[in-house]
Amino acid sequence: DIQMTQSPSSLSASVGDRVTITCRASQDINDNVAWFQQKPGKAPKSLIYGASSLHDGVPSKFSGSGFGTDFTLTITSLQPEDFATYYCQQYNRRPLTFGGGTTVDI
């Protein structure tokens, strides 16, 4: 199975900050990475697919990059509604696998 190593596991930030979350795959997965946001007690929300394509309706403050094994999610101008847990996922090969999550809090 492909392992997705996400870092950091948590980070503290302030409103207006720019934050970057990274995900490293245990093998080459091309650009077959998605990013999700999840708030407590809620379903995941899709942000990014294909490493850098925005899911419909997601604001451009979210961006993704990377190819092969190293990927990043960047959030600019952090707002209160952005404080949540973020997950990466590879869908290059089954079984699909998720990173361990990054909790962004104040």
The residues that touch another protein, with contacts defined as CB under 8 A, are 32-34, 36, 38, 42-46, 49-50, 53, 55-56, 87, 89, 91, 94-101
SS3 letters for 5-45? EEECCEEECCCCCCEEEEEEECCCCCCCEEEEEECCCCCCE
CB of 94 to another protein, least distance (A): 5
User: Of the two residues 17 and 69, which places its CB atom closer to another protein in the complex?
Assistant: 69
Token pair in block for residue 7: 């870092």
CB of 85 to another protein, least distance (A): 9
CB of 52 to another protein, least distance (A): 11
What 3-state class would DSSP assign to 81? helix
Q: Give the burial class of 67: count Cβ atoms within 10 A of its Cβ; 0-12 exposed, 13-18 middle, 19 or more buried.
A: middle
User: Of the two residues 13 and 96, which places its CB atom closer to another protein in the complex?
Assistant: 96
User: Of the two residues 42 and 106, which places its CB atom closer to another protein in the complex?
Assistant: 42
User: Of the two residues 18 and 59, which places its CB atom closer to another protein in the complex?
Assistant: 59
Token pair in block for residue 46: 């899709």
